A = this chain, B = another copy of it.
Amino acid sequence: MRDDVEMLAMPLERVRRYLEPGPIVLVSSAWQGESNIMTLGWHTVMAFSPSLVGCVISSGNHSFELVRRSGQCVINLPTTALIDEVIGIGNSSGAELDKFNHFGLTASQATAVEVPLIEECHAHFECRLVDDSLVDRHDFFIWEVVAARARATPAYPETLHYTGDGVFMVAGEIIDRRGQFLPQML
């Protein structure tokens, strides 16, 4: 699963490039020696600079307390190569399973947070919690991406987009309409 394509750091305002299209992501977390991974589809870009991403992590998830207490996470971007892991991770609980170990995923050291990232993913967004004001009411966490890296190729990875009912849409054709945009609207 793991490949040797180089990981490159990216300017933080380019995070939207990967997350705005709406892929399923794998959120890794850690607290006091315990780590976990969850599958997550409820996220949105919220600002370019600082680079903010909001996501819903239900209080019923084992990851909830880990991210709330540590105030950190890594948003990892899987592709179709990891579809079985995406489903398996979503189907299981970190209360019963060491998910890195069980799913054969490589926990690598992040650069700016104390949370392992998932080496096999296409991109990694290291996050610090900056606004927890809607956590109690809506399980909504607002993160600042403080470090971001992605594989050099492919430029447009085959990400997974969940529609519910066990059905995924896979990222398809790329249409470049740059010439139609006003520069300030890109």
Chain A residues within CB distance 8 Å of chain B: 14, 16-18, 20-23, 41-47, 52, 54-56, 80, 83-84, 87-88, 90-91, 131, 133-134, 137-138, 140, 142, 156, 160-182, 185-186
5 contacts between A and B (CB under 8 A): A16-B164, A41-B45, A44-B44, A131-B137, A161-B161
Given A52-B138, A131-B137, are A87 and B180 also a contact pair (CB < 8 Å)?
yes
CB pair B17–A177 under 8 Å, yes or no, is no
Contact of A56 among B46, B131, B186 (CB under 8 A): B46
CB pair A172–B171 under 8 Å, yes or no, is yes
CB pair A175–B56 under 8 Å, yes or no, is no
Chain B residues with Cβ under 8 A from A181's Cβ?
87, 90-91, 166
**A138 closest partner in B (C-beta):** B46
Task: Please measure, in the bound complex, the distance between the C-alpha atom of A80 and the C-alpha atom of B17, giving whole angstroms.
Answer: 19
Chain B residues with Cβ under 8 A from A174's Cβ?
167-170
Given A22-B22, A87-B181, are A172 and B175 also a contact pair (CB < 8 Å)?
no
Taken together, the copies of this chain in the complex come to 2
Tell which of A21, A45, A84, A182 has the most Cβ of chain B within 10 Å: A21
Task: Please measure, in the bound complex, the distance between the C-alpha atom of A16 and the C-alpha atom of B56, giving whole angstroms.
Answer: 13
Task: Please measure, in the bound complex, the distance between the C-alpha atom of A83 and the C-alpha atom of B34, giving whole angstroms.
Answer: 46
CB pair B167–A175 under 8 Å, yes or no, is yes
Given A46-B140, A138-B142, A176-B167, are A21 and B22 also a contact pair (CB < 8 Å)?
yes
CB pair A21–B162 under 8 Å, yes or no, is yes
Given A54-B44, A87-B180, A163-B156, are A169 and B171 also a contact pair (CB < 8 Å)?
yes
Cβ distance A88 to chain B, nearest Cβ, rounded Å: 8
Cβ distance A99 to chain B, nearest Cβ, rounded Å: 14
